[in-house]
Structure 1
Amino acid sequence: MFRRVMTLLVSSALLVGLAVGGLLLPVPYLVASPGLSLNTLGEDDEGERIIQVDGRKSYEHKGGLSMVTVQYVGGPGARVDLFTALSAWLSPRDAVLPEEAIFPPGQSMDDISEEQSLQMDDSQSKAIAAALTQLDIDYGVQPVVADVDPELPAHGKLKAGDVITEVDGAQVDGVKQTVGKVSDREPGDPVEMTVERKGAPKDVRIDTAESDDGTAVVGVMLRDDMDFPFEVDVSVGNVGGPSAGMMFALGIMDHLSSEGLTGGHAIAGTGTIEPDGKVGGVSGVEQKMVSAQREGAEYFFVASESCDLTFDSAATGEIEVVKIDKLDDAVDALADIRGGDTDDLPRCTQK
């Protein structure tokens, strides 16, 4: 009898030990939690303005236009244990994601960090462009060679960093116009380009090739570099990614406008931005809504593409959600909020 009891106790202890050990095993999942909130009209922890304008009169207004973030725990080399993943799965504020959702196979933490940093830089440039476009402030756009295909005619004639200033003797303004002018010929026909390389002009002649869709190409990847008439600096520390673009654009507009956009209200939001004002969807909306509500935001602006995500947040029903397709929509919504006319604000509808 005694031996049976001891066997049962030892077996139970082993099972408990195995269960506890299993809970502490690392698993290939990420935990997404509500992150920080930064008011683009305010200051960072060191007292520096989030957005600073140099070379043009700027203004400071009350209210908030806050970008919100998601905090991720886990990833290659720093995996969470099963207990942490299960706890997050049971939490209404958090989400559990497969590791590859953020860290594609073959990419290191440094690779992801660099990519996120580049996306943030690109988002800030697009936000400045979108804000200036909305305010009818002119700026220049320069098509710059980002990469050259070694198998196509531009190889050896154009280099990364070349600024294309003319095509066939006519000035070009941006990637879209440049691509249009090059493709406006039969494949095989030559194109004359003038580029600026290391500050000096250079003329090149390139015989075009035929692309998969039958148009003429030279084999370069281009990006738009914006030439703004004054400097706008956006400082958000180590935050990366493109999802704060809409809120950056609104914050920049507020700094450049004599009348504040918010009327003293606290607004938060998330969405990418394009220079033409188009607002794009992002991930992590559920956690970002919690961040916004926690920081006292009255309204949450979200890209229409992300509307479906707003119904699964722990903050659903606790904060007013406004859907945005383009920067115009956000400006109109802010005007309604300032005026107290919020009945007709565009809202997400559940399908």
Structure 2
Amino acid sequence: MSDGDGQLSPPNVPGGPADEEAPDPRRTSRLSKIVFVVAVLVIVVPAIAAFIPVPYVILGPGPVTNVLGTSDGKPIVQVSGHDTYPTTGTLDFTTISMRGGPESQPSALEVVGALVRRGEEIHKQSEYFPEGTTNQQIQDENAAAMTDSQQEAIAIALTELGEPVTQKVTIGAFATNSAAEKAGLKKGDQIVAIDGHRIVTVDDVRPAVTAKKPGQIERIEVRRGGKAMTFDVVTTDNDGTAALGVYLSLSFTFPFSVRINAGDVGGPSAGMMFSLGVYDVLTPGALTGGQRIAGTGTIDYEGHVGAIGGIQQKMIGARRDGASWFIAPTSNCNEVVGHVPSGLHVVKVATFTEARTAVVDIAKHDTSGLPTCTAATSSA
């Protein structure tokens, strides 16, 4: 075949240059748009997730504090009017860190990150903050619980030493729309009687209140600044039972002044370690024998050691800060087994006496008989 200048044109060979199709500009444009959208999603979605709040709380290991040490340059255990004794070693109370709450929810990205960080746990916000509560209310409750734990720790230590201790029940805080607060009661009022029932301990309050039906009047006798006062409170409905809308605080009268300066920490879980610290300061010699011992657990006036939350995070924090021994409530054993950090030895206790004995045995390096958490105790 001849072209216009007399030369032969090459035949159209299948697959040759003449068969090649030019790129479809519309297809290229669509592909570019898809790539662009994917790229934007990859960049933007995590960025958005970094700011989207979600109703969860994140628990992690918190700081530890030596009860035998100082805070802001002052002894944590402060005693006046009684002899104290120098001591060595450490009795660390452990804490958890918490991110979250109804007014400061973590982002979705933070929650995802907590899934891969060692020692962190994710819980629904409702497990720690009942619906309708505020961060301030929880802080107030935790502050009241801390005050109670300190008072009961001092009380059990002094009682063990044979010192006379008397107790009283006071109003520590008010719930939202508290019937008692509306009736004129105030924080710090000592509750003396409810409808004629004498109030000596916190356990006396609930049966006295719930003897009435919601909406009925309770006559509350209190002591305020040395003055006796009486208030009529119309009870509210709390899941079908009568309620006053108060958070109670148990306080004591001691024969001399003992104060615990724990810093900005809330909740009752340091009670056992506080009691050991007070006992150590008021007795000759070093209870720990110079050892570093950490622990956690509530304490009550009768010397019972109670369960606490976040024990796995507290064990991690204790070991992180150098403790080799950890005293834990027997009732927390199910959360201890299988989660003890390497190098940490856990001793289970149920009473102040058992805790003190454990510390003494650790001090003497006589630890072979100390009880620990096992699979059997955790399932008991």
Q: Give the structure-1-normalised TM-score.
A: 0.79
Equivalent pairs, count: 318
What residue number does 2:63 align with? 36
Q: Do the aligned partners of 1:298 and 1:320 also contact (CA within 8 Å) in 2?
A: yes
Q: Do the aligned partners of 1:32 and 1:73 also contact (CA within 8 Å) in 2?
A: yes
Q: Do the aligned partners of 2:298 and 2:308 also contact (CA within 8 Å) in 1?
A: yes
Give a deviation string over 1:191-217, Cα, whole Å, max 9, x none. Answer: xx9985642578x9xxxxxxxxxxxxx
Q: Do the aligned partners of 2:188 and 2:224 also contact (CA within 8 Å) in 1?
A: no
Give the Cα separation in 2 of the matches to 1:43 and 1:3: 69
Please state how far the C-alpha of 1:283 moved relative to its aligned partner. 0.4
Question: Per the alignment, in what secondary structure is the counterpart of residue 70 of structure 2?
Answer: coil
Give the Cα separation in 1 of the matches to 2:297 and 2:93: 9
What residue number does 1:338 align with? 363
Question: Per the alignment, in what secondary structure is the counterpart of residue 90 of structure 1?
Answer: coil
Aligned counterpart for 2:139 among listed residues 113, 127, 146: 113
What residue number does 1:306 align with? 332
Please state how far the C-alpha of 1:247 moved relative to its aligned partner. 0.4
Aligned counterpart for 2:257 among listed residues 210, 219, 231: 231
Please state how far the C-alpha of 1:74 moved relative to its aligned partner. 2.0
Please state how far the C-alpha of 1:142 moved relative to its aligned partner. 3.6
Paired residues for 1:281-292 under 5 Å: 281-292=307-318
What residue number does 1:12 align with? 38
Please state how far the C-alpha of 1:248 moved relative to its aligned partner. 0.4
Give the Cα separation in 1 of the matches to 2:170 and 2:33: 75
Aligned counterpart for 1:279 among listed residues 305, 311, 323: 305
Q: Do the aligned partners of 1:41 and 1:65 also contact (CA within 8 Å) in 2?
A: yes
Residue type of the partner of 1:51? V
Q: Do the aligned partners of 1:144 and 1:163 also contact (CA within 8 Å) in 2?
A: yes
Q: Do the aligned partners of 1:175 and 1:223 also contact (CA within 8 Å) in 2?
A: no
Give the Cα separation in 2 of the matches to 1:224 and 1:245: 13
Aligned counterpart for 2:113 among listed residues 87, 96, 111: 87
Give the Cα separation in 2 of the matches to 1:139 and 1:246: 18
Paired residues for 1:245-260 under 5 Å: 245-260=271-286
Residue type of the partner of 2:163? I
Give the Cα separation in 2 of the matches to 1:78 and 1:201: 42
Question: Per the alignment, in what secondary structure is the counterpart of residue 314 of structure 2?
Answer: helix
Residue type of the partner of 1:335? V
Residue type of the partner of 2:189? G
Q: Do the aligned partners of 1:321 and 1:348 also contact (CA within 8 Å) in 2?
A: yes
What residue number does 1:52 align with? 78
Give a deviation string over 1:325-350, Cα, whole Å, max 9, x none. Answer: 00010111112112211011010012
Paired residues for 1:1-351 under 5 Å: 1=23, 2-24=28-50, 25-44=52-71, 46-142=72-168, 161-162=189-190, 164=192, 174-175=200-201, 198-200=225-227, 224-311=250-337, 313=339, 315-350=340-375, 351=379
Give the Cα separation in 2 of the matches to 1:134 and 1:232: 15
Q: Do the aligned partners of 1:145 and 1:164 also contact (CA within 8 Å) in 2?
A: no
Change (3 A) 1:227 1:312: same
CA RMSD of aligned residues (A): 3.5
Residue type of the partner of 2:256? F
Give the Cα separation in 2 of the matches to 1:20 and 1:177: 51
Give the Cα separation in 1 of the matches to 2:110 and 2:96: 17
Give the Cα separation in 1 of the matches to 2:146 and 2:327: 19
Moved more, 35-44 or 100-109: 100-109
Give a deviation string over 1:28-69, Cα, whole Å, max 9, x none. Answer: 11111111110000112x221111111101112110111111
Q: Do the aligned partners of 2:86 and 2:285 also contact (CA within 8 Å) in 1?
A: no
Higher Rg? 2
Change (3 A) 1:200 1:4: closer
Please state how far the C-alpha of 1:323 moved relative to its aligned partner. 0.6
Q: Do the aligned partners of 1:145 and 1:220 also contact (CA within 8 Å) in 2?
A: no
Q: Give the structure-2-normalised TM-score.
A: 0.74
Give the Cα separation in 2 of the matches to 1:20 and 1:176: 50
Change (3 A) 1:268 1:257: same
Residue type of the partner of 1:8? I
Q: Do the aligned partners of 1:58 and 1:255 also contact (CA within 8 Å) in 2?
A: yes
Give the Cα separation in 1 of the matches to 2:371 and 2:296: 16
Residue type of the partner of 1:226? F
Give a deviation string over 1:222-268, Cα, whole Å, max 9, x none. Answer: 86431100111111221100000000000000110112210000011
Residue type of the partner of 2:133? Q
Change (3 A) 1:162 1:295: closer
Q: Do the aligned partners of 2:179 and 2:245 also contact (CA within 8 Å) in 1?
A: no
